Structure 1
Amino acid sequence: MKLDCLILAAGNASRFGSCKLLAEWNGKPLLAHSIAAARKLDPAGIYIVAGAFYSQLQQALPALDTSPKKNAGCEIHFLEFRAWNLGLGHSLAFGVKQLQNANPVLVLLGDQPFVSAQDLQRLYRAWCENPKKIACASFANTLGVPAIFPAFFKARLYECRGDRGAKYLLQRYADHVIPVAMPSAEFDIDTPADFTEYCKKII
């Protein structure tokens, strides 16, 4: 079954000091890595929830989407969330509400550069074996995104608020969750120091 991919990229990166998703990571903007990994699943569509840096990200699309398959069906859609300051949970709820269809939804963050296409493919295979469950990343003794939610679970995602995002729901509905070991999901970029330190890991 085709799924939709929802990439959360609405924050103002206050701890980073600029649009971190456009910072160069291994030769490409940071956000481009999430897009490229998602494309390997051949999703029905890739939707990016943008807010504080909506205009900059939209203008950077040619650099963000460099896949040779980018014109072969799956399109990139920017969703402008003007109330981004309300928190990640609100951004997630807003994004999912735009997906009024019967597709499952893969939720990703734009600043997890170590999450690979292979990680997402393993997650997708786990979900395909149990399509009525939520398949999510398991790392550092917790559950989190990336995660694939079946379509009927979208109503629960609509309820996310403030800082209560997908992780909160994964914990609340743990009996509906299939954890998939994904150590790479532990790392995200919050500060310039994070960026510098993690860049050393790819040299």
Structure 2
Amino acid sequence: MATGADAFEAIVLAAGSGARFGGGKLLAPFGDGVLLDGALAAAFAAPVSRVILVTGARGEAVEAAARAYAQRAGEDRLLIVHAEDHAEGMGASLRRAAAELSPGCAGVFVFLGDMPRVPAAVLAPLAAAVRAGAPAAAPVFQGQRGHPALIGASLLPQLATLHGDAGARAILKDLGPRLALVEAADDGVLFDVDTPGDLDAGPYR
């Protein structure tokens, strides 16, 4: 795995309040841990030199949960930053994370903290697509585009200009056929948790 310049990095967006869930969504029990653990597991499974987790609502508790997971997993690639203006939406979190990317970063995977079932098998093909020249890549399942997106180096400056809650969609929307699409083997690239009932789907199998 490349490190430093010419390496991929990962961002995990974990700043939301989880209002539709009733609050505290990322800390809800899921599998053998909490919901956030699934997103962190996927991020650490990606071919990245570092994982940048962005906190916001319940920042101290989310940070503690992330550090506990990293310690259990034996991971020392975790950087945690706080988005003071997180209430604005995902744009604020992505701007905050963009400020921490290493110079010469080859691209960044964008994971959502409430998506715990991203299959690790899709991550290397996303990286290969960008290494081969695509400006960005995303997984698809049964024709529906999912997460995480991998944003290549040429598009990274746009992360610092994002506003509102569109997230990476605002960067990908104008790429058309230049966006590399990688077929995923299951719906983990689409599955997210919005309400407590969604937790019944269980962790990634």
TM-score class normalised by the smaller sequence? 0.7 to 0.9
- What do residues 6-40 of structure 1 show as CA deviations (whole Å, max 9, x unaligned)? 01111100111122112221112211122222222
- Partner residue in 2 for 1:10: 15
Matches within 5 A, 1:40-79: 40-65=45-70, 66-68=72-74, 70-71=75-76, 75-79=77-81
Query: How far, CA to CA, are the matches of 2:8 and 2:117 in structure 1?
Result: 22
Tell me, yes or no, if the aligned pair for 1:105 and 1:150 is still in contact at 8 Å: yes
Equivalent-residue separation in structure 1 for 2:36 and 2:172 (angstroms): 24
Q: TM-score, normalised by structure 2?
A: 0.85
Counterpart of 1:32 (choices 33, 37, 46) is 37
The residue type paired with residue 49 of structure 1 is V
Q: Please give the secondary structure, in 2, of the residue aligned with 1:172.
A: coil
Q: Which secondary structure state, in structure 2, belongs to the residue aligned with residue 60 of structure 1?
A: helix
Q: Which amino acid aligns with 1:98?
A: E
User: For 2:150, what is the secondary structure of its paired residue?
Assistant: strand
Out of 160, 167, 179, the position equivalent to 1:177 is: 179
Distance in 2 between the 1:142 and 1:60 partners?
31
Question: Which structure 2 residue ranges, 5 or more long, are not aligned?
Answer: none
TM-score by length of 1: 0.86
Q: What letter is aligned with 2:113?
A: G
Give the counterpart of 2:116 among 113, 118, 137. 113
Aligned residues: 196
Report deviation, 1:166: 0.9
**CA displacement, residues 112-141 of structure 1 (integer Å, 9 cap, x when unaligned):** 1110222222322333333x4201122464
Matched with 1:133 is 135
Percent identical among aligned pairs is 29
RMSD value, Cα: 2.1
Quick check: 2:89–2:164 contact (8 Å CA) kept in 1? yes
49 and 140 in structure 1: CA distance in 2 versus 1, 3 angstrom threshold: farther
**Mapping for residues 85-164 of structure 1, pairs under 5 Å:** 85-103=87-105, 104-130=107-133, 132-139=134-141, 141-164=143-166
Deviation by residue 1:48-98 (Cα, 9 ceiling, x = unmatched):
011012100122234322223x14xxx211110011110112222221232
The aligned residue for residue 194 of structure 2 is: 190
The offset of 1:142, in angstroms, is 4.2
Structure 1: state its 5+ residue gaps. none
